[in-house]
Amino acid sequence: MQNYIKHYLNSLAIDYINEDRNLALIERLQAAHLARYSFSSVNALQAKSLSLDDDKVFSRLINLQEGGYCFEHNKIFFLALVALGFDVEILIARVMLNGREENPRSHRLTKLTLEGKHYLLDVGFGVSTPVIALPIDQSSRVSEGVNLYEISRRDRLIDVRQVLPNAQHLYRVELAQFYESDCEIAHFYSHHHPDAAFVNNLVVSRIEKGERWLIRNNLLHYWHETSAVHTQQVIQSREQLHTLLTDTFLLNVSKATSTWLMERYVLAA
């Protein structure tokens, strides 16, 4: 496992060995992870059994570059932070994008304790992932570039909303004790249940230096945060889809898989 983590950290091209173990280092690692390793539902769509064993997750996302979602991305980030000596805990949140109070806990993220303060860390919320450590000791607003986030704290219940440039309720998390076994259950639902979002939709995203790319079924979205440019185009061919997945999203996807995705999810949208 030490070799897996070392390879992962080296792939982020950050001198983590000689840098101070502080919040700035963590946020650089967050940004580098989101730029290098794409969020993807491609494996979930193929009804694969996606083991959360440490070596299997590292092999799938880092060595094979197949992409993944929160239970994979945030586990890798969690294990890397543990190896670097940070004090972190598992959290599982309710995704609130649709506004339904009864949504199940289906999103893994990380709680960081550093110098007596507490933060939420995330590298697995797709195109809306905050590229910043979110302070959670009290209600507040925090910004990262053009992005403004509102953290509401009520006792042990925390709501995270994006205020700008788009208003959306991201997730709700209760500060309780969670284990890898809790993640296993939510992960199994997320990539096996017939009604789960990632079993029914092609979703791929990547974030780098204020640019955000998203494929959702037949549409490619692009945002440039500084210029406020937002474009949208329909994906027209298997060749275009394959080029996007491999060149824009840096995924290791075969042409046969791209053809299957095109026929099953892009043309059918």
Give the domain CATH number at 89. Answer: 3.30.2140.20
Q: Which two tokens stand for residue 149?
A: 């986030």
How does 58-84 read in b/e, with b if 16+ C-beta sit within 10 Å? Answer: bebbbeebbbbbbbbbbbbbbbbbebb
Instruction: Please tell me the distance from the alpha carbon of residue 117 to that of residue 137, in angstroms, as a whole number.
Output: 7
**Beta bridge mates, 141:** 150
Residues of the chain with pLDDT under 50: none
Q: Based on the domain organization, do 46 and 164 belong to the same domain?
A: yes
Residue at 190 is within a domain = no
Instruction: Please tell me the distance from the alpha carbon of residue 130 to that of residue 22, in angstroms, as a whole number.
Output: 18
User: Could you list the residue range(s) of the whole structural domain that residue 17 is in?
Assistant: 2-183
Tell me if the pTM is above 0.95.
yes
Instruction: Please tell me the distance from the alpha carbon of residue 16 to that of residue 14, in angstroms, as a whole number.
Output: 6
Where is the domain boundary, 159, 183, 207? 183
Residue at 188 is within a domain = no
Q: Based on the domain organization, do 71 and 117 belong to the same domain?
A: yes
Spatial contact of 242 and 78, defined as CB atoms under 8 Å apart = no
pLDDT score, position 47? 86
pLDDT score, position 241? 98
pLDDT score, position 48? 86
pLDDT score, position 82? 97
For the chain, the domain total comes to 2
pLDDT score, position 1? 83
Instruction: Please tell me the distance from the alpha carbon of residue 110 to that of residue 145, in angstroms, as a whole number.
Output: 22
